[in-house]
């Protein structure tokens, strides 16, 4: 009788030496390594799940930030008053083309409206032909005054905006947008003092504007600014009965409340100046950017909600992907579980091994998924030109989700299989 290995009651009541965690870890790594295809496929589920969550939330946040930036680029405390009948439902296409507003109106408003911090008039035409040497382009020409740069937040990157003297004497000088500069000049070529022909007339470049980028698909840098006096006399031709006709003017107030007060005052003054009787419609229309701002804020809110919903859906899809492949992988391995149990593995050591494998896959797949998601988000942001932001919570959530789902989807079926008696596990095929 070989007493040393006899299962006498005493020795068998004693707890067996447990397989060390290190041993389990080594075994898990070896198993994952020996089953490269299965490991890769499972990991792919994790990677796709996490990277899509990160990419989608990043794109959502980027678009949101860009929208926010565009809104504040419009100016927060400004309104624009344009010539033409007020809009009554539908879009008034010809707004600003009828010459019901004059520079004198704008100057009167600046003087008489206490809540107006600054006012700038503009007279603008699109598709104006501009020639330099043998280069011929078409751009927007905007005649204005000296308040324009500060109200519209335009800074020179070279030279200066035109001066009061230029405006007073209607000199042919041009302050050009960066797109116009790029089209007419080679890189490094000096711009200040160069001559352009606008509608056949000679203009001298006095400055180049800092780029403002795109807004609503419109290139804000594709424009040339010249003195309003020059625009009126040389390019458009004055058709107002008295004074200098303009398309409209911008008004800046100190804050949003004052802007609403100003709107009321502007309406009254203009109606009075234009002799509009009570009950008749305005011959101008006012766009108040504080109102637009609040509309945009609502839009932003639903955008945030939508991004959240999409992130939630991709989390769900990613989670289902991970759960699915884990589940299949464990079910495939019921026979392996049977073999391990037959040679003496306890349910606990089986479960530890499967959990370790699930955690390893989730963590390694998670790291790769985060990397891929960030890279894809960066690529999309670069291609579609919106800010690249990766919200930390999306990395945390994606990672946490894959870990939780991985452990549950890998662990629960593994626990069920580990609880089978060895022969039931072995018989499964």
Partner 1 sequence: MATMIWMEGITQTFHLEGMDLPVLKQIDLSIDDGEYVAIMGASGSGKSTLMNIIGCLDRPTSGLYILDGSDLTTLDDDELADIRNQYIGFVFQQFNLLPRLSALENVMLPMIYAAVPKSARVTAATEALTKVGLLDRLKSRPSQLSGGQQQRVAIARALVNHPALVLADEPTGALDSKTSQEIMNLLTELNQQGTTIAIVTHDASVAAQTKRTIHMVDGKIVEAANGSVQPSANNLRPDAAIV
Kindly state the smallest distance separating residue 41's Cβ from partner 1, in Å: 15
Q: Is 277 in the site for partner 1 (CB under 8 A)?
A: no
Kindly state the smallest distance separating residue 6's Cβ from partner 1, in Å: 5
Q: Given the rule CB under 8 A, which of 15-23, 153-161, 177-185, 324-332 is the region that contacts partner 1?
A: 15-23
Cβ proximity to partner 1: between 344 and 400 the closer is 344
Q: CA distances (Å), 252 to each of 48, 80, 119, 271, 288, in order?
A: 50, 9, 6, 20, 10
Altogether, the residues listed in the chain come to a count of: 429
Q: Is 37 in the site for partner 1 (CB under 8 A)?
A: no
Q: Is 16 in the site for partner 1 (CB under 8 A)?
A: yes
Cβ proximity to partner 1: between 6 and 169 the closer is 6
Q: Is 40 in the site for partner 1 (CB under 8 A)?
A: no
Please give the sequence-ordered ranges of beta strands (E in DSSP) within 89-222, or none if there are none.
101-102, 118-132, 135-144, 156-159, 173-176, 195-198, 201-209, 214-215, 218-219
Token pair in block for residue 140: 């927007």
Cβ proximity to partner 1: between 18 and 87 the closer is 18
Q: Is 129 in the site for partner 1 (CB under 8 A)?
A: no
| Sequence-distant (≥ 6) Cβ neighbours of residue 379 within 8 angstroms | none
Instruction: Give the 3-state secondary structure percentages of the chain, helix then strand then coil, rounded to 5.
Output: 55, 15, 25
Closest C-alpha among 387, 397, 403 to residue 58: 387
Kindly state the smallest distance separating residue 427's Cβ from partner 1, in Å: 10
* Contact pick of 12, 88, 186, 202 for partner 1 (by CB under 8 A): 12
Q: Is 20 in the site for partner 1 (CB under 8 A)?
A: yes
Closest C-alpha among 135, 87, 114 to residue 283: 87
Residues 227-246 that bind partner 1 (CB under 8 A): none
Kindly state the smallest distance separating residue 339's Cβ from partner 1, in Å: 5
| Per-residue mark of binding to partner 1, 319-358 (x: CB under 8 A) | -----------------x-xxxxxxxxxxxx---------
In sequence order, the β-bridge partners of residue 285 are 82
Cβ proximity to partner 1: between 31 and 402 the closer is 31
b/e code 254-263 from CB counts within 10 Å (16+ = b): eeeebbeebb
Q: CA distances (Å), 155 to each of 80, 132, 196, 226, 335, in order?
A: 20, 24, 21, 15, 73
Kindly state the smallest distance separating residue 3's Cβ from partner 1, in Å: 10
| Per-residue mark of binding to partner 1, 407-426 (x: CB under 8 A) | --------------xxxx-x
The helix or strand, by DSSP H or E, that contains position 216, with its residue range, turns out to be none
Number of residues that bind partner 1 (CB under 8 A): 38
Q: Is 35 in the site for partner 1 (CB under 8 A)?
A: yes
CA neighbours closer than 13 Å in the CB half-sphere of residue 271: 16
Burial of 68 (0-12, 13-18, 19+ CB in 10 A): middle
Cβ proximity to partner 1: between 28 and 147 the closer is 28
* Contact pick of 8, 134, 239, 302 for partner 1 (by CB under 8 A): 8
Q: CA distances (Å), 240 to each of 53, 80, 126, 234, 244, in order?
A: 59, 20, 20, 15, 6
The Cα 280–Cα 270 span in angstroms is 13
Burial of 317 (0-12, 13-18, 19+ CB in 10 A): middle
Kindly state the smallest distance separating residue 18's Cβ from partner 1, in Å: 7
Q: Given the rule CB under 8 A, which of 7-15, 71-79, 104-112, 220-228 is the region that contacts partner 1?
A: 7-15
Kindly state the smallest distance separating residue 46's Cβ from partner 1, in Å: 21
* Contact pick of 1, 91, 241, 383 for partner 1 (by CB under 8 A): 1
Contacts to partner 1 by CB under 8 A:
1-2, 5-9, 12-13, 16-20, 23, 27, 30-31, 34-35, 336, 338-349, 421-424, 426
């Amino acid at each position: 009788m070989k007493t040393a290995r006899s299962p006498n009651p005493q020795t068998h009541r004693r707890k067996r030496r447990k397989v060390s965690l290190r041993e389990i870890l080594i075994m898990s790594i070896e198993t994952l390594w020996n089953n490269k295809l299965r490991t890769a496929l499972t990991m792919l589920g994790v990677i796709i799940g996490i990277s899509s969550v990160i990419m989608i939330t990043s794109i959502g946040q980027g678009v949101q930030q860009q929208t926010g930036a565009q809104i504040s680029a419009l100016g927060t405390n400004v309104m624009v008053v344009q010539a033409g009948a007020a809009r009554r439902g539908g879009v008034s296409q010809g707004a600003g083309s009828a010459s019901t507003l004059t520079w004198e109106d704008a100057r009167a408003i600046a003087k008489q409206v206490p809540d107006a911090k600054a006012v700038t008039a503009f007279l603008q035409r699109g598709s104006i032909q501009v020639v330099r040497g043998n280069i011929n382009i078409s751009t927007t020409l905007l005649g204005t005054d000296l308040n324009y740069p500060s109200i519209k937040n335009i800074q020179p990157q070279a030279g200066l905006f035109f001066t009061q003297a230029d405006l007073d004497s209607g000199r042919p000088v041009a302050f050009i947008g960066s797109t116009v500069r790029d089209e007419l000049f080679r890189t490094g070529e000096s711009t200040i003092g160069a001559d352009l022909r606008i509608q056949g007339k000679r203009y001298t470049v006095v400055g180049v504007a800092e780029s403002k980028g795109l807004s609503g698909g419109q290139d804000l840098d594709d424009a040339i600014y010249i003195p309003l006096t020059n625009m009126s006399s040389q390019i458009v031709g004055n058709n107002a009965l008295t004074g200098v006709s303009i398309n409209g003017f911008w008004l800046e107030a100190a804050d949003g409340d004052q802007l609403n007060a100003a709107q009321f005052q502007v309406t009254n003054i203009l109606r009075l100046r234009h002799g509009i009787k009570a009950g008749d419609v305005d011959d101008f229309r006012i766009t108040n950017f504080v109102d637009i701002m609040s509309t945009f804020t609502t839009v932003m809110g639903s955008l945030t909600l939508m991004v959240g919903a999409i992130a939630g859906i991709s989390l769900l899809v990613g989670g289902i992907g991970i759960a699915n492949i884990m589940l299949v992988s464990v079910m495939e391995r019921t026979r392996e579980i049977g073999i391990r149990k037959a040679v003496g593995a306890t349910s606990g050591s089986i479960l530890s091994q499967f959990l370790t494998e699930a955690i390893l896959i989730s963590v390694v797949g998670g790291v790769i998924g985060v990397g891929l998601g960030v890279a894809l988000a960066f690529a999309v942001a670069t291609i579609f030109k919106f800010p690249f932001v990766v919200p930390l919570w999306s990395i945390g959530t994606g990672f946490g989700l894959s870990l939780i789902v991985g452990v549950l989807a890998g662990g629960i079926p593994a626990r069920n299989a580990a609880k089978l008696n060895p022969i039931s596990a072995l018989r499964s095929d």
